[in-house]
């Protein structure tokens, strides 16, 4: 009974040890129940409520903050309710996001990380984690194909920030004066990225004062891969207009189609024009762990920087994203400001391990331990099998859709990653000729099905329009708990809801 116990009775209160232990045991029970339910197919993926319903308060779950302390009984109820009204992203039938799954070792790593509650800026407060980061970064660089003499990097809060680092570094590499003088003396810089790439390249240009209009969007083929000839034409055109191209982003695993840009050919173009080549492998990087699939990223070793998010295809708990940089020392040069209260040079240990000045942050969360622990638990081979299984399930889905008259694939070639894009065609549209009226009606189908799917709560998948394609479903599989029966369930649920 926790109704008479308050946070003041827990550690560090004198004789607070027993209450703290009981409180944690109760909390662990709540978390274990949630973890078990996340893997049970007959449990819901979500118990959806509209924002106003959650704000009004459901069955005693109140978001408003009190003036007086509440007892631990109430806090435990709040913990239970918080999980109850959230989304079980580890559920085998959650297909909504690139990051999914619930890795038990990764979760243990995250718990330990929170318990250690330290900061990644200096060796003096994070000795073990700083060295683990070095080990992980080196391993990832080796997998990318960089030799011992090359390679630097840092773990960042997500792929967008990792991509931001790449633009920031490219600009500094070509115009180091930007660090002190700003943009005033710089020419009009131009960046290049494909039409299917992530919006973070434009966002980086906006944030860094380059301007989103100075990002040239390069055309893609039908499969969503950048067309190299279009890239070279865009570079030459930009130069003719007096702009200064500095940077090309090639995507390894686009967000919607899961397409891989031809990195090797793009690298040749970058070499010819002396441009920084970044590979955004936030989503596709995981495939480097698989002997079967790593050739899809052929040429990645020629990149000057790489974004790779282990919280996506490798299933590490959020967040876990790395920016890898080929040129040693550049991150430090570009970002260091030598704050004397933190990065004293007369410390009694090797201060090159005070890596915090390489970053644009000051305080930095420990994102490495969970990945390090998962790597110990699975090894390269375990990650490779996990990736292979997800892609096998995606191929299973692709083949199922090909056989069904009530579904239509957005592109007919086998998926390169685990993204499978498709429309559900309701009976009333099946015999309708292609054209604007069919498109108008088809555009409304996916949002309607998704709304009903979320009310039912048994599975979840995303949709979007893209270019000239009206709203279609994107199924992504990154959860090793997903089996072919879950893929079958998804299709049946869509077809059941989608009947006219
Ligand atoms: N770059 C974030 C990916 C979002 C998604 O899950 O589609």
What would the mean pLDDT of 274-288 be, rounded to a whole number? 98
Q: What residue spans define the domains of the chain?
A: 7-88, 119-367
**Each residue of 190-208: pLDDT tens digit?**
999 999 999 999 999 999 9
- In three-state form (DSSP H/G/I as H, E/B as E, the rest C), the secondary structure along 306-362 is EEECCCCCCCCCCCCEEEEECCCCHHHHHHCCCCCCCCCCCCCCCHHHCHHHHCCCC
Q: pLDDT band for position 78 (50/70/90)? A: very high
Average pLDDT of every residue of the chain: 98
d(CA 259, CA 284): 9
**Each residue of 395-426: pLDDT tens digit?**
999 999 999 999 999 999 999 999 999 999 99
- pLDDT score, position 58: 86
Q: pLDDT band for position 361 (50/70/90)? A: very high
The residues, ordered by sequence, that sit 6+ positions from 175 with a Cβ below 8 Å of its Cβ are 186, 189
d(CA 472, CA 460): 14
- Distance (Å) from CA 163 to ligand 1 centroid: 14
What would the mean pLDDT of 108-135 be, rounded to a whole number? 98
Res. 57: pLDDT tops 90: no
Eight-class DSSP state of 170: H
Residue given tokens 């106003």 in the structure block: 52
Q: pLDDT band for position 427 (50/70/90)? A: very high
Residue given tokens 């793009």 in the structure block: 266
- pLDDT score, position 123: 98
- In short, whether 255's Cβ falls inside 6 Å of ligand 1 is yes
- In short, whether 478's Cβ falls inside 6 Å of ligand 1 is no
Res. 500: pLDDT tops 80: no
Residue given tokens 């978001």 in the structure block: 63
**Each residue of 303-346: pLDDT tens digit?**
999 999 999 999 999 999 999 999 999 999 999 999 999 999 99
- In short, whether 80's Cβ falls inside 6 Å of ligand 1 is no
Atom index in ligand 1 nearest the CA of residue 200 equals 1
- pLDDT score, position 374: 99
What would the mean pLDDT of 414-442 be, rounded to a whole number? 97
Atom index in ligand 1 nearest the CA of residue 309 equals 1
- pLDDT score, position 440: 98
- In short, whether 198's Cβ falls inside 6 Å of ligand 1 is yes
d(CA 189, CA 175): 10
Q: What are phi and psi of 373, to 5 degrees?
A: -70, -40
Q: pLDDT band for position 150 (50/70/90)? A: very high
89: helix, strand or coil: coil
What would the mean pLDDT of 1-26 be, rounded to a whole number? 97
The residue to mutate among 95, 96, 97, having the most atoms of ligand 1 within 8 angstroms of its beta carbon, is: 97
Atom index in ligand 1 nearest the CA of residue 96 equals 6
* Percent of the chain whose predicted confidence (pLDDT) is above 70: 100
Q: pLDDT band for position 282 (50/70/90)? A: very high
Domain 119-367 sits in CATH at 3.40.640.10
Atom index in ligand 1 nearest the CA of residue 282 equals 1
* Percent of the chain whose predicted confidence (pLDDT) is above 90: 99
**Cβ atoms 314, 308 nearer than 8 A:** no
What would the mean pLDDT of 218-231 be, rounded to a whole number? 98
């Amino acid at each position: 009974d926790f109704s008479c116990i308050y946070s003041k009775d827990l550690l560090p209160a004198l004789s607070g040890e027993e209450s703290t232990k009981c409180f944690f045991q109760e909390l662990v029970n709540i978390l274990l129940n949630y973890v078990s339910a996340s893997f049970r197919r007959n449990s819901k993926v979500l118990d959806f409520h509209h924002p106003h319903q959650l704000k009004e308060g459901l069955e005693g779950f109140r978001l408003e903050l009190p003036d007086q302390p509440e007892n631990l009984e109430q806090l435990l109820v709040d913990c239970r309710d918080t999980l109850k009204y959230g989304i079980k992203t580890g559920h085998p039938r959650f297909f909504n996001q690139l990051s999914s799954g619930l890795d038990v070792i990764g979760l243990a790593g995250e718990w330990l990380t929170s318990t250690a509650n330290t900061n990644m800026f200096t060796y003096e407060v994070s000795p073990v984690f700083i060295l683990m980061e070095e080990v992980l970064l080196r391993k990832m660089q080796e997998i990318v194909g960089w030799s011992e003499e090359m390679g630097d990097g840092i773990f960042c809060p997500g792929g967008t920030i990792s991509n931001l680092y790449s633009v920031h570094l490219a600009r500094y590499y070509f115009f180091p004066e930007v660090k002190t003088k700003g943009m005033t003396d710089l020419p009009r810089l131009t960046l290049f990225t494909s039409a299917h790439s992530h919006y973070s390249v434009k966002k980086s240009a906006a944030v860094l004062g380059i301007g989103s209009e100075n990002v040239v969007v390069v055309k893609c083929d039908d499969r969503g891969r950048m067309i190299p000839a279009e890239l070279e034409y865009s570079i030459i055109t930009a130069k003719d207009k007096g702009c200064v191209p500095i940077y090309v982003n090639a995507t390894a695993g686009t967000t919607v189609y899961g397409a891989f840009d031809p990195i090797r050919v793009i690298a040749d173009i970058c070499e010819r024009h002396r441009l920084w080549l970044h590979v955004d492998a936030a989503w596709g990087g995981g495939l480097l762990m698989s002997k079967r699939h790593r050739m899809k990223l052929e040429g990645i070793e020629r990149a000057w920087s790489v974004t790779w998010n282990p919280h996506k295809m490798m299933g590490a708990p959020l967040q876990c994203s790395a920016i890898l940089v080929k040129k040693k020392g550049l991150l430090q040069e570009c970002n260091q400001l030598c704050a004397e209260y933190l990065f004293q040079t007369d410390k009694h240990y090797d201060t090159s391990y005070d890596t915090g000045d390489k970053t644009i942050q000051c305080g930095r969360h420990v994102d490495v331990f969970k990945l390090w622990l998962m790597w110990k638990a699975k090894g390269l081979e375990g990650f490779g099998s996990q990736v292979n299984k997800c892609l096998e399930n995606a191929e299973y889905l692709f083949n199922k859709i090909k056989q069904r008259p009530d579904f239509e694939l957005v592109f007919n070639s086998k998926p390169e990653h685990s993204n499978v894009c498709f429309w559900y065609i309701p009976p009333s549209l099946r015999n309708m000729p292609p054209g604007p009226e069919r498109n108008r009606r088809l555009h409304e189908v996916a949002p309607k099905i998704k709304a009903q799917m979320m009310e039912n709560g048994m599975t979840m998948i995303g949709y979007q329009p893209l270019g000239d394609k009206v709203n279609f479903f994107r199924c992504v599989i990154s959860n090793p708990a997903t089996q072919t029966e879950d893929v079958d369930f998804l299709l049946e649920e869509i077809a059941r809801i989608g009947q006219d």
